[in-house]
Amino acid sequence: MIQDSEHGRRLAQNLVELLAPYEEELIQLERDVPAFGPLRRALGIAIAEACYCISDNVPPQENLVPPADDAASRTR
């Protein structure tokens, strides 16, 4: 699982490196032709999502549900 997570981060990093120059170009184009705005925003969202994947350092959790005998369950 950790190996898949690291592979995903590497893919996201590659995606950011690939798309960032295009975003720069679209920023320049948008100044002259505002119709490029939606495309530039969509690309920015894709880059932001990839950055989130890269920076998400929380290790995957095996069990998201607390055990039935934990302290919070005993007080109910």
Q: What is the pLDDT of residues 15-51, one digit of tens each?
A: 999 999 999 999 999 999 999 999 999 999 999 999 8
Distance of alpha carbon 40 from alpha carbon 22, whole angstroms:
9
Q: Indicate the pTM of the whole model.
A: 0.64
Residue 52 has pLDDT above 70, yes or no: yes
Q: pLDDT category, 1, cuts 50, 70, 90?
A: very low
- Going by C-alpha positions, the residue among 59, 45, 62 that lies closest to residue 9 is 59
* Mean pLDDT within 58-71: 59
pLDDT of residue 63: 53
Distance of alpha carbon 15 from alpha carbon 47, whole angstroms:
8
